[in-house]
Structure 1
């Protein structure tokens, strides 16, 4: 499995066509946590300038989050943000490179979207992610096959704060209040770190409300009882290859 994955990744890097995979298990689709009494707060579309604030708010509540990073993260500011999140115990995962609808792409294009972010995260932190969230939550069998050959799970959610839809803070708080009152065994929550009102107004309320309902706020991996990364090593020194 490891050798095959390395070959696929190498081909993607040099721009050669990635072969269709041999018959392998498709990636698992994660839609909910499995460890009782846990809630995983996940944040899409970073790293963004509010990432520091999200991390500090979580840390003050003895909570952890999961960041699905997107795009070129090689700028000095973004590298600092990625390292900060990782060093503070939050989980990092892929949201792909250009936020394209993966269900509309070819096999080669899907791998390119996945590989670029994975490579960047590994270079910056030394950790190779075990989870990927497809943009818009859209995927098909080709996406699952591509994730499967890369050893990843595909992550969706079972609770949407609706911040990406422009929901007001009052609406977001109401949604968190409703799910806390309903008290499911676990919660896998979708949020975004790019909206100031969501970060500074909704997030503190959501944390307080979920913790008061008896949930432990953990990373995605912890709420699944699985490793966050496929491998963890030393970060790489910055080179001229760190570019978009």
Structure 2
């Protein structure tokens, strides 16, 4: 009986070690994905430290977007709220919330069935001072495409946004955070910087606004970049609670360019807290 118990104990230990190893591998894989598939990344703090001559370019960009930076994120406790894969039916409600809360966000927009379907929403977001950025045309993984296909995915959205707002985006977010050397080369060519994130609610997998809120609040940190999707039913209702609680914690909400200022995002570079 004791021998059998000992065997069971050893087998259980092996299973636990095996599961732990599997979790570590999964976590490492996720970390690799979020840092751009092995690509070097630059933090907001590092971007601010690289300012010097570039600061004039950053200030010019912020003024052109109507968001001249009154916040010094080297001193203030800044955090950037970003939304992917819109605009959609929920985006006008989100814009009303952001206006009421006096928060400006960064929107990484999809072209097909989004920018081309909700042109007034895109114009409205830009007019209200939000940063309008690129999330490709059809959300294909860029690291699986040829350079010409990457160029098309990004270029079509660049032109669609420019036609509505008068300005081409300077920021993009690769679908799933997947990037590589070829993506870097094409984004550099198109004048686009790559922006990843530090907090995500995985709101594509739940409609529970309370869960979305808690996940973001648990991951929030100084110089953080929050990733949400305004196309899912549970996300927009979670936003007021996220904003209110983070303001109570002393955070100042900024756009991604404001987070990097007086530095400026360099085309091709991956930015991640």
TM-score by length of 1: 0.75
Structure with greater helix percent: 2
Q: What 5-or-longer segments of structure 1 have no aligned partner?
A: 1-26, 231-244
Aligned pairs for 1:151-230 (under 5 A) are 151-166=191-206, 168-180=208-220, 184-200=221-237, 202-225=238-261
User: Runs (4+) of structure 1 moved beyond 3 Å?
Assistant: 27-34
Partner of 2:111: 71
CA deviation profile, 1:118-173 (whole Å, cap 9, x unmatched):
01111111111110101111111100111112221101101112212326323222
CA deviation profile, 1:157-203 (whole Å, cap 9, x unmatched):
011122123263232222233235xxx32210000011122102x11
Does structure 2 retain, via aligned residues, the 8 Å contact 1:29–1:155?
no
Q: Residue 133 of structure 2 aligns to a residue in which SS? A: strand
Does structure 2 retain, via aligned residues, the 8 Å contact 1:42–1:190?
yes
Larger Rg: 2
Relative to structure 1, the CA distance from residue 30 to residue 86 in structure 2 (aligned partners, 3 Å threshold; closer, same or farther) is farther
Relative to structure 1, the CA distance from residue 100 to residue 109 in structure 2 (aligned partners, 3 Å threshold; closer, same or farther) is same
1:149, 1:85 → 2: CA distance?
Answer: 26
Q: Residue 164 of structure 1 aligns to a residue in which SS? A: coil
1:166, 1:44 → 2: CA distance?
Answer: 16
Does structure 1 retain, via aligned residues, the 8 Å contact 2:85–2:109?
yes
1:116, 1:53 → 2: CA distance?
Answer: 27
Partner of 1:5: none
Q: What 5-or-longer segments of structure 2 have no aligned partner?
A: 1-38, 49-72, 268-273
After TM superposition, give the deviation of residue 71 of structure 1 in Å: 2.0
TM-score by length of 2: 0.67
Q: Residue 190 of structure 1 aligns to a residue in which SS? A: strand
Q: Pairwise CA RMSD of aligned residues?
A: 2.3
Does structure 2 retain, via aligned residues, the 8 Å contact 1:50–1:199?
yes
Relative to structure 1, the CA distance from residue 82 to residue 112 in structure 2 (aligned partners, 3 Å threshold; closer, same or farther) is same
Relative to structure 1, the CA distance from residue 79 to residue 122 in structure 2 (aligned partners, 3 Å threshold; closer, same or farther) is same
